[in-house]
Every structure is written in C-alpha cells, then in structure tokens.
C-alpha cells in the first residue's frame, strides 16, 4: 500500500485570482416601470458609496475551481479516521443533508404565521420531547446556537434562579473540575460568576474532599461533564449531586460526552438540574469546519419557567411557539432555533431509535477501550488516572514518557499522525494530563481503521526512539508542512486580512 498524500494546489488567495471586468453572478433585469432615473439621488449624499469595495472579480468558472481546490486541501470525517477527543466526529448520514436541503426547510421565514410552519414546529417539538426522554429532563429549549451557547444559557438560568430566591448576591461561585472543557469556566464567567476549580483524584474523578472544602453558602452551582474529559465515568456523581443540592446549588451537565451513555444512564437520573446537548457531536449533524452546531438546553420541572424563549408546545391540535414563560432568561438567539440543524438530529433519532442509540453507546465505548488496550502497550505511551477502570467513549494518552526519553512531544506525534491520512487527536487537553492526546474513535469507526491507527502509533513510537529528528519536522504528506503558528500571532507579521497583509508587506515584498 502506498502512502497518504493530501492534495497540494499552489492556490493563490482569491484576491490574486480573476481579472478586471469578470463576474460570476447575474441578476434579472428590472422592468421598465421599476427603473429609477437617477437611483443614486435617492441615497443621501453622505451615504453614497464613493468607492466600490475592493473585492476580487471572477467568473463563475474561476470561483468553482478555486473553492474545489481548497476543499481538496481539507480533511473531514468522510476523508478518514478523525479521533478528535471530546468532539465526537462520527459519520454524518447523507440522508440528513438531503432532508435539510428541502425547500420546505430552506425557504421558511421564522415570522410566518404558525399555521404555515406546522411541520417545522412539529419537528422542533418532537425533537425536544425526545431529547428530554434521552437525558431524563422535563423540558428543552432549542434556542442555543452551539454547546457553549447552551452553557451560557444554563449559567443564566442558575443566575435567574438564585436571583428569584433573593440569593444571587451571596451565591457568586460556580464550581468546575480542573478537567472541564474550557467553555465551562468561560461560560460561568460570562454569566457573571466567579469560577472555583476543584482537582481530579488519582482515580480520574473529582476529589470529593476538595469539593466539600469549596462548597459553601456562596455556591451557585457545579458544572460537570460525565463521563469526564478523561473518558472516566464520575462514579460518585450521586454523592456530588447531594453535596451541591444540600448547599443550595444547582447541577449543570455538559452534554459533550453524552454519546457514551445513551440508554445506559441519564443526567436527569444522576441528579442534574440543567443539561445541554451538542447536536453537532452526539446527534450526527456535521461540524462544517467549525459550525453551525446547536446546543439545546433541558431542565427539570422546577426550572422550566426560566428557559429561554420561545418554547415549542403542542395543544393536542396544533404546535405553537410559547413566549409566556414567567421567569425566562429571555432570548439568546435572533430567532427561534436552527431548523436546518435540528432537522438532521431529528432524522438521526428516527434512524436509530432507542435500540440504535444504546448500540451507539456500546460501540463507541467498546471502540475506545479496544483502541486503548492496544495503545497502552506501545513504548513511550501511558494512560494516566484510574488505571484499572474502563474508559467510556474516549481516553487520554500521555506522551510524557516518550517526550522525556526521545524529545518527541504530543504535538510532534499528532503532526506525524497526519502523515498517515488520519486526523490527529485533541492535543494538550485536558490540562490535568501532561503531553496529552485525547482520543475518541466514535461508534462509526471500523475495526480496520482502529487497528491501522494503533499500528501507526506503534511505528511512530519506533521512529521516535530510532530517528526522532524525522518526527520533529513532520508532517510531510499534508498540503503544507509544519505551520508557523507563533509567527502568525506575532505583532510584526500578524496578517488577519488581505488588506492588512497588503498594508504590512507591500505587494511583491517577501513576507
């Protein structure tokens, strides 16, 4: 078998393509009566655009070639194994795209009369009911546009709840484990809370004594991912819930890792009050190179009246948008929800059913443990924390032994992995593991891919001990070699737009 080679086009920046007078777009002509004699005169003088925007001029043909070439220099789930930990890069079924491309999705306006968007509301309503069933919560709002947006909504609910109880002035702290996703502390801070970090125990779970020592009458809530970012199930979660609830705090569940526990256990049953889910992870909607996603938020009954509006309800005859939510935190998105995303999650659940989702949990966990059992045997690597516990859907490999013995770091390993046509794992996360590579194969990986990945890691280990220099200069087979990220953010070189580039480095002068 030959080696992987990513396409490499010497593709200019779009401003360097095309030529004066070319165009890639045509519009229908105005009819006689629509024509205004001097259209410019209608615009107040101060507001008339004096100079056309300095945009490139290209024919449609050139635009297509340019972006197709760029697409060939990108790598998605459909290209190959993508074990990016905590991102759940599972296969995105094509049928979902087909359905989301319907005119009855694309050409709907959010302010159409409700009787003309009953299909949209039905899908939204049923999806929120299903999400409630899956997580053991009572009611979902589909407002949040992404996972972090859901966390922000959750933190605002915690805020509103304590405010209503007259305790907000006192309850200023949100507790977050040191292994949490970066969005958790950032979301809590955005909602005005002080973030208190608790350490992880040797077994990979929250240190309960440390938790008890920081819980107080100031505690507003706790944000937790379970299984956590080490891929370990917080086995004392019931005790944690009791501690927080007894102190008068609320429990927030970060659903980024929900894939591992479908049908096995539910955050609602663990004692969580608020949950967000990432439809673009767990429910197979594609990630689009960074978005759009969706981060629906669900709560137990006692918090229903705080949810962001609108909620979608059904009165037995018709579906409707409900803005009449007494203590709502308000809105966090311009309109109702992202219909193009939620319809894909809806179709996914229809395909899977309860049985299929449970199988997802089983296979994602089996795949992860199978791969972990292979990688842990490879020289230079180890899987710290909770050495005798099975992982759930992901695990964290430490390259710190490899680094101290060969000088090859987690980043170097990640870059070398790219050479084999695999995406790299998440690097340097969670922060509690040194030289971390966080690996999540998901249920859609095949055993052949997983075996191949393990072989690749073994050969990288061998190479690290024999010829580390070669790894330090990796990757070789991607569109470009190792990218200078330091230079990119250096004030002297920083170019954040084409015009900034032109300003800093006159055309022709070497960057």
Per CB under 8 A, does 370 bind other proteins?
yes
Least distance (Å) between residue 5 CB and other proteins: 12
Per CB under 8 A, does 164 bind other proteins?
no
Place of tokens 């992982």: 391
| Neighbouring C-alpha atoms within 13 Å toward the C-beta of 273 | 25
* Part of the chain binding other proteins (CB under 8 A), chosen from 214-222, 299-307, 463-471, 478-486: 478-486
Binding to other proteins by CB under 8 A, coded x per residue (else -) over 23-42, reads: xxx-xx-xx-xxxx--xx-x
490 Rama sector, left if φ>0, alpha if ψ -120 to 50, beta otherwise: beta
Binding to other proteins by CB under 8 A, coded x per residue (else -) over 135-154, reads: ----------xxxxx-xx--
Which residues within the stretch 196-235 sit at the binding site for other proteins (CB under 8 A)?
A: 233, 235
Q: Which CB atom, from 238 or from 404, has the smaller least distance to other proteins?
A: 238
Per CB under 8 A, does 429 bind other proteins?
yes
* Part of the chain binding other proteins (CB under 8 A), chosen from 62-70, 212-220, 297-305, 456-464: 62-70
Q: Which of 282, 398, 412, 444 binds other proteins (CB under 8 A)?
A: 444
Least distance (Å) between residue 460 CB and other proteins: 15
DSSP string, 326-363: TT----SSSSS--HHHHHHHHHHHHHHHHHHHHHHHHH
Determine the Cα–Cα distance for residues 310 and 331; give it in Å rounded to an integer. Answer: 8
Q: Which CB atom, from 36 or from 404, has the smaller least distance to other proteins?
A: 36
Q: Which CB atom, from 183 or from 465, has the smaller least distance to other proteins?
A: 183
Per CB under 8 A, does 277 bind other proteins?
no
Q: Which CB atom, from 252 or from 339, has the smaller least distance to other proteins?
A: 339
Q: CA 248 → CA 124, 244, 451, distances in Å?
A: 33, 6, 48
* Part of the chain binding other proteins (CB under 8 A), chosen from 100-108, 215-223, 243-251, 395-403: 100-108
Residues written for the chain: 511
Helices 410-418, 447-466: axis angle to 10 degrees equals: 120
Helices 339-375, 118-135: axis angle to 10 degrees equals: 30
Q: Which of 81, 83, 93, 220 binds other proteins (CB under 8 A)?
A: 93
Which residues within the stretch 310-349 sit at the binding site for other proteins (CB under 8 A)?
A: 329-343, 346-347, 349
- The set of residues, in sequence order, having a beta carbon less than 8 Å from that of 411 and lying 6+ positions away, is 427, 428
Place of tokens 């655009």: 49
Question: Do residues 14 and 58 make contact, with C-beta atoms less than 8 angstroms apart?
Answer: yes
- Please work out the total of residues on this chain that contact other proteins, with binding judged by CB under 8 A: 212
Place of tokens 């958790």: 184
């Amino acid at each position: 078998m030959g080696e992987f080679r990513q396409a490499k086009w010497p593709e200019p920046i779009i401003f360097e393509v095309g030529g004066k007078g070319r165009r890639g777009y045509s519009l229908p002509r105005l009819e006689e009566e629509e024509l205004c004699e001097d259209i410019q005169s209608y615009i107040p003088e101060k507001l008339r655009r004096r100079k056309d925007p300095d945009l490139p001029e290209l024919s449609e043909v050139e635009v297509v070639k340019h972006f197709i070439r760029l697409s060939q220099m990108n790598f998605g789930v459909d290209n190959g194994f993508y074990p990016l930990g905590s991102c759940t890069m599972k296969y995105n079924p094509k049928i979902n795209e087909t359905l989301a491309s319907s005119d009855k999705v694309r050409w709907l306006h959010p302010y159409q009369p409700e009787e003309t968007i009953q299909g949209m509301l039905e899908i939204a309503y049923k999806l929120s009911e299903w999400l409630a069933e899956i997580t053991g919560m009572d009611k979902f709002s589909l407002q949040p546009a992404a996972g972090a947006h859901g966390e922000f909504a959750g933190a605002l609910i915690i805020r509103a709840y304590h405010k209503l109880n007259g305790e907000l002035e006192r309850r200023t702290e949100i507790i977050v484990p040191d292994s949490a996703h970066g969005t958790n502390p950032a979301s809590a801070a955005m909602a005005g809370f002080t973030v208190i970090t608790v350490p992880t125990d040797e077994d990979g779970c929250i240190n309960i004594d440390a938790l008890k020592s920081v819980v107080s009458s100031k505690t507003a809530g706790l944000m937790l991912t379970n299984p956590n970012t080490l891929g370990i199930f917080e086995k004392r979660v019931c005790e944690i819930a009791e501690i927080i609830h007894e102190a008068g705090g609320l429990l927030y569940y970060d659903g980024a890792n929900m894939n591992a526990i479908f049908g096995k256990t539910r955050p609602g049953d663990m004692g969580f009050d608020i949950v967000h889910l990432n439809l673009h992870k767990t429910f197979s909607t594609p990630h689009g190179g960074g978005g759009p996603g969706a981060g629906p938020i669900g709560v137990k009954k006692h918090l229903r009246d705080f949810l962001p509006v609108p909620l979608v309800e059904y009165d037995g005859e018709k579906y409707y948008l409900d803005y009449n939510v007494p203590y709502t935190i308000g809105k966090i998105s311009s309109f109702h929800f992202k219909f193009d995303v939620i319809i894909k999650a809806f179709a996914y659940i229809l395909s899977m059913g309860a049985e299929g989702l449970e199988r997802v949990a089983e296979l994602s966990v089996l795949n992860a443990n199978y791969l972990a059992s292979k990688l842990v045997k490879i020289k230079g690597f180890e899987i710290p924390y909770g050495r005798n516990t099975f992982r759930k859907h992901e695990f964290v490999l430490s390259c710190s032994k490899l680094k101290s013995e060969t000088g090859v770091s987690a980043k170097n390993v990640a870059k070398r992995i790219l050479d084999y046509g695999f995406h790299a794992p998440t690097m340097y996360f969670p922060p509690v593991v040194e030289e971390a590579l966080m690996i999540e194969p998901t249920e859609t990986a095949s055993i052949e891919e997983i075996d191949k990945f393990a072989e690749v890691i073994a050969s990288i280990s061998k190479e690290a001990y024999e010829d580390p220099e070669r790894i330090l200069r990796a990757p070789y087979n991607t569109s470009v070699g190792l990218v200078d990220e330091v230079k990119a953010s250096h004030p002297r070189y920083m170019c954040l737009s084409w015009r900034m580039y032109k300003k800093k480095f006159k055309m022709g002068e070497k960057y």
